Chain A
Amino acid sequence: MNTQIYDREGIDIAWCPGCGNYSILKTLKMVLAELGIGPRELVLVSGIGQAAKIPHYFKTHFFNGLHGRAIPPATAIKAVNPELTVIAESGDGDMYGEGGNHFIHAIRRNPDITTIVHNNMVYGLTKGQASPTSQLGFKTPVQVKGVFLEPFNPIAVAVALDASFVARAYAGDIEQTKEIIKEAVTHKGFALVDIFHPCVSFNKVNTHTWFKEHTYYLEDSHDSTDRMSAFQRALEKEKFPLGIFYKNSDKVTFVENVGVYSQDKTPLSLRDSERVKKLNDLLESKK
């Protein structure tokens, strides 16, 4: 499959020149093409923010919902039609700030969706305020004395909640990022891919150079089934490890738990079940 099948003609992209979002867009198209997932088999779900505009630069089914609320509709879309590949994709503010509660509970619910978070440690669309992942001391027009809130650590939180799949990537490395997202998309269960990328307009600290200097890949010897070790590595903050921290493939997914598919695999949304007799029986039972 060619990545061009996802391209939309004549679009006006709202991202700044040099934005890390471009590499993520390109990488995601490569992943889907290599996996042979066509535009009609994919639903891209996003919230609000610069990263969340990604469905508009993609030819596919999409649900561009509210700020912070990508995960709940993504969970439901997969539940009513498990044949679709569902990717929830937004920025760090959207997923970890406004949508933090959904992030936590989606991990517990374990829908078979991939969550891709564009993490540039700053708010872009609202022009440069701190995000949940902004580093301590980061100065902004609002955080004038520098950020004093402990940065949110999505990897550690996800591992602590025994998430099904937890990874971090760096957008500047398309080849590695592609491999990580590919594994996430094919993984059964909730998969988190947190992707570091620079914001060229509002984050003059965490630049490409900074990310290159402050990241490294987990060694091949890292055992991604070892939760304790994954948690330890997730806490590292001098240099941030990249790669797949943790995988738990034994977890039962949301769709497997809800029961509507135990007998019949037909997507709920395409079923035409007859209810009159059952309803009559139920009414009779109320006599």
Chain B
Amino acid sequence: MESPIALDKKDVSIVLCGQAGQGIQTVERILVRLLKLSGYHVFATKEYMSRVRGGNNSTEIRVASSRVSAFEDRIDILIPFHEGALKHVERRISHQSFILGDEEMISKDCQLNGSQCIPIPLSKIASDVGGKIYANIVAAGMVLGLFQVEQRIFTGFITEYFAKKGEDIIKKNLEAIQKGWEIGKGLLDSERTDVKSWRESAVGEDILLNGAEAISLGALAGGCNFLSSYPMSPSTGVMVFLSHQMNEFDIIVEQAEDEISAINMALGASYGGARAMVTTSGGGFALMTEGVSLSGMLELPVVIHLAQRPGPATGLPTRTEQADLELALYSGHGEFPRIIFAPGKLEDAFSLTQRAFNLADKFQIPVFILTDQYFMDSYSNVPIFDLKGMKVEKYIVKSDKEYKRYELTGTGISPRAIPGFGEGLVGVDSDEHDQEAHITEDLDLRGKMVEKRLRKLESIKKDVLPPELSGNREYRILIVGWGSTYGVIKEALEKLDRKDISFLHFKQVYPLHEETKEYLKKAEKTIIVENNATSQFGKLIKLFTGMDIETKILKYNGLVFSVEEVLDKIRIHTQ
């Protein structure tokens, strides 16, 4: 066979498409790790159905010579694992796409949109090795071969990856990956494509993780030692990660009977002196909102990780959306201060979560981290996180006999003591209370307590993180985004390459940084990009700055924006 595949850009998008249960996630994990270890920059993201078997799921893996962290529509290489696969991603297939897979899966739709089909007997090879189930590993090997990943890199990894499954399984997987690798090597036209030149040795030293892991590591760095939650996609990854670190890091991780219990447990732990967190999504968070209000009233710190998914109600459980910003902002009855973060990069997910624990403790408030399915499930390589200067700030005081939990202070922050540490007594009360936390209907005192709680917002405002400006400081058009859309907007603008357009990204969405208005005023035209239907962040900006962002690029079908899509829309709006 000739070597048919030449890659003209140093940025390849590989899409694996199959049914739930066909092991696509295994291929994703193996490939991103091994490609990264070989020195390629990688990014992987997936879209999947809310089912355990069957359906249509796809994973995109981008392999590039420089850092990438966004979803692209374009498919350079498609590997289908079942017959419906081509139809599922049809709109993304072009004449540039190579389709590699079993003949019976691709023959029917061969040359779809002008694509080039190369039959590879993945299932036949897998059967020879020991069963069709190995087809995914043969495919992984094929991609590794295509990128000329050295055998020594994958042999050890595969042995370790399947270690628990026994000798026989390891042997078969090694054979499967080897056979795929040999095919892959032959597919690349190495005369025209020097993939090895894409590699950067420093990438091997990068860490590779997804949003869920970055949030979890940030929690560990923030001193989290108590997490109570109820499983719900897409938030569960954090609970899973921390469960595996319970012994090493002295954490209690408890799966509560419901989200109401979860947040009330977290607040009990916080009262007792722990650094407590909950991780939840959509309806699960809706159940927690009375607890959010309790945090506000008791003035107990809690970190709330809210991984958004499309609603209302059950919505699309495995899809993505940025539509719970307003819910987070207004959750909980009554008036009390809060902070809301929304990371757009993995390094921000780590540092913001770490920061969330310090700020929750400092101001004795709920602090939110808003992510979404796309952010939680997407992997990329990043330089190892720097722990220097990261401190677990402690604000707990030892009580004396005269201790008053809700002492009225100038800043509104009362020193926080915990039971079992000091001579005093520590009470907290969800009713309006006096300085010793006892129930009261003294309405003058009520006024003072409301003001005390709200006064904390003044100190909180001094600690707000500024938005990040990408592009020129002098701009005519300003694109505004928040949270997980960072990567895609940034890449779209790089591709657009217009000196008069800059991008302002918010990783702290509440309270807003005081310079927000200045940034907006400088622009002749502002455009907001949000993964929701009503421009919730745009409304928030208007509320707090009076500035109206009239041009909106919104998406709310459950899928993430693609680079091409944002690029096209920005083009249309800026012609």
Contact = CB atoms under 8 A, between A and B. Distances in A.
Interface of A: 8, 11, 39-41, 43, 45, 48, 53, 55-56, 59-66, 69, 71-77, 79-81, 83-84, 101-102, 104-105, 109, 258-260, 264, 267-271, 273, 275-276, 278-280, 282-284, 286-287
A270 B265 contact: no
A62 B428 contact: yes
Given A80-B226, A260-B225, A275-B392, 19 more contacts: A61-B425, A62-B429, A63-B298, A72-B256, A72-B264, A73-B264, A73-B267, A74-B268, A79-B252, A80-B268, A81-B418, A84-B420, A101-B258, A258-B246, A258-B254, A260-B250, A264-B250, A280-B387, A287-B206
A119 B430 CA distance: 22
A43 B217 contact: no
Nearest to A11: B438
B271 A283 contact: no
Given A43-B419, A275-B223, A73 B268 contact: yes
A105 B419 CA distance: 25
A51 to B, nearest CB: 14
Given A62-B428, A260-B250, A76 B421 contact: no
Contact of A56 (B249, B256, B438): B438
Given A62-B437, A102-B257, A258-B254, A40 B419 contact: yes
A76 B262 CA distance: 10
Interface of B: 37, 204-209, 213, 217, 220-221, 223, 225-226, 228, 245-252, 254, 256-258, 260-262, 264-269, 271-274, 276, 290-291, 294, 298, 384-385, 387, 392, 418-421, 423, 425-431, 437-439
B30 to A, nearest CB: 15
Given A72-B264, A102-B257, A64 B428 contact: yes
B252 A80 contact: yes
Nearest to B276: A76
B425 A66 contact: no
A74 to B, nearest CB: 7
Contacts of A101: 257-258, 260-261
Contacts of B276: 76
B212 to A, nearest CB: 12
Contacts of A270: 273, 420-421
B56 to A, nearest CB: 30
Contacts of B228: 72, 76
A170 to B, nearest CB: 28
Most-contacted residue by chain A among B205, B267, B427 (CB, 10 A): B427
A63 B428 contact: yes
Contacts of B421: 269-270
A284 B249 CA distance: 16
A178 B209 CA distance: 57
